[in-house]
Structure 1
Amino acid sequence: MTEIHRSWQPSAAYLYVLHLDAPSTAWEFLRRNPRYREQWQGSDEDSDWGLSFAEDPSLDARQARPIWCVGQRPVVRLIPHTDPAAQCFDLWAIPGRKSLTHEGQHLWLQGTSGRELVRLTLSPDMRNGEPFAYAMPAGAEHKQYRFTLETALGLLQGTRANTVTALNRPPRSATIHMRALQALDGTLAGATQRDIAVVLFGDERVAEQWNPDSELRAQVRYLVQRGRELMEGGYRDLLN
């Protein structure tokens, strides 16, 4: 049993999943994949997981900063600007946890605005403390960049209140993903579906409603199946 699955029963430990964006949720399922974990530990297997480079599976989405090479939203680039009135780039003024990662072709800046993980690329000649501008490809459909630009503004200019997702409650899909993740951990830890039902829905409800053809059992079966599907490659659908 890995460290991920030892403490799968306290539901409060999974509440952070409600506030993850899609790429971070995808990471939570991928990092539980036994083959991915074996490869990280030194297996000779060479598989395409959709990452620009491997990330440590012991790190959950609050700590890890995986860079996906599939299903990314349009990316805004930060470039130097000659107008002295432009905002100056200040890495240390960005609130919360942030990271700079070079994956061979691009330097990526990652941080959090609201509950969204923001990913930007930096021009090679960007300098801390100097004016900058946001750049997107000429001819690009501006509507596709609206969300990316809003989250970038939220990260770098403190306008998170203007971002759409910062105002919304977690969607229903987030609750499903949270429960599927917990059900998956229970399964990988050797728990039965009834054990999982008790943890997710309580002893009393299970005692009253659990039987081979019950809706409750079907719901647990779905969560277990959904968790496995996402772990075994379905996480890529979240990236799209």
Structure 2
Amino acid sequence: MAEPHHLAQWYPTAAYLYVLCLDTLALAWEYLRRHPDYQLDWLRHHRRRPMHPVAQNAAHRWGLRLLEDPVLDARDAHPAWLPGHDAVVQLHPDTDPPPDAAAFAFWHIPGHKQLLHDGKGLALIAHSPGHCARFAVAPGLEDGMAVAYARRGGRGSAAPARDSASMHAARPRPPPAALLELHTLQALDATLAGASLREMAEGLFGADAVATDWHADGDLRARVRRLARRGDALMRGSYRRLAQLPPLEKGRFEEDAKRP
């Protein structure tokens, strides 16, 4: 017997609250990991050595250096994206530092730090409430050395913040864009679970809202339909825009990319 929709894993919005704190790379992972073809690639290749050419080719098709377990959400996963995102700050030894040059101080970077090898080099991720800082650490850089910061495209300040108090200050209400991603992911999971638009609306906006405002040509139904279509499109290729990757090439995923 089919599980009642109000007992389904996608139904409680509280399960998606972590999405409100994700940056664009983490959001890209949330959409990618739900793609059925990506899940199949993981099952086929994850037992191979990470640097095996077949496994690497499979990862590169999705915009990754290495395949990551799709069971892990963005709080636990460490997907190694192909380079190019301007949110990643590059850290290099400063070979000709001025007298007041900044020194690399690993433990002074605020937040919960994770250091991992992404198949090419060291990646450093620092998580704080409502904030995620990402760094690519060049070979030879050691703690206490003069460091030069670089960001692709030269956008914003490249140097990491060092004021941990400001990083842990109370955060304002989540912006509409964050709420949109939360609702989109919840709608996508409902779609993948086979829920109807009305069931989806009850999970996202409550049974009372559906009882009052659900009509065949009503705004609520149209809103839910847009969320479902947006989630499907992001899963099937538009996640690449979030990760600042080039569009899908024609070929294996062309049909998926054209789906609404």
TM-score by length of 2: 0.74
| Distance in structure 1 (CA, Å) of the matches to 2:35 and 2:231 | 11
| Cα deviation digits, residues 11-58 of structure 1 (max 9, x gap) | 111111111111111111111111111111116893611112111111
Q: Is the 8 A contact 1:114 1:160 kept in 2?
A: no
- Partner letter of residue 86 of structure 2? R
Match of 1:199 among 191, 199, 203: 203
Q: Does 1:60 align with 2:73?
A: yes
Counterpart position of 1:153: 160
| 1:50–1:70 Cα contact (<8 Å) kept | no
1:1-240 → structure 2 map (5 Å cutoff): 6-42=8-44, 46=58, 48-69=61-82, 72-73=85-86, 75-80=88-93, 86-87=102-103, 89-91=105-107, 94-128=109-143, 130-136=144-150, 142=154, 144-146=155-157, 149=158, 152-154=159-161, 157-158=162-163, 161=166, 169-240=173-244
The C-alpha deviation readout for 1:39-84, integer Å capped at 9, x for no partner, is 1111689361111211111111111122222650164332346769
Consecutive unaligned residues of structure 2, counting only runs of 5 or more, are 46-53, 245-260
SS where residue 76 of structure 1 aligns? strand
1:184–1:84 CA distance, 2 compared to 1 (3 A) = same
- State whether residues 75 and 119 of structure 1, in contact with CA within 8 Å, keep that contact through their aligned partners in structure 2: yes
Q: Distance in 2 between matches of 1:135 and 1:202?
A: 47
Q: Is the 8 A contact 1:26 1:236 kept in 2?
A: yes
Residues 121-179 of structure 1, C-alpha deviations (whole Å, 9 max, x = no match): 22211224x33323328xx864x142xx2xx522xx2357389xx96643212111100
Deviations 1:58-116 (A, max 9, x none): 1111111222226501643323467698545335x655433222234322111224523
2:124 is paired with a residue whose SS is strand
- How far apart are the structure 1 equivalents of 2:14 and 2:122? 36
Identity %: 41
The alignment partner of 1:224 has SS state of helix
SS of the equivalent of 1:173 reads helix
C-alpha distance in 2 between matches for 1:34 and 1:167: 35
Match of 1:14, SS? helix
Q: Which runs of 5+ in 1 are unaligned?
A: none
Q: Contact 1:89 / 1:132 at 8 angstroms: preserved in 2? A: no
Summarize the Cα distance change of 1:86–1:94 in structure 2 as closer, same or farther, 3 Å threshold: closer
Partner AA of 2:194 in structure 1: G
Task: Find the residue that maps to 1:98 and give its secondary structure.
Answer: strand
Q: CA RMSD in A?
A: 3.1
Q: Secondary structure at the match of 1:77?
A: strand
* Superposition TM-score, scaled by structure 1 size: 0.79
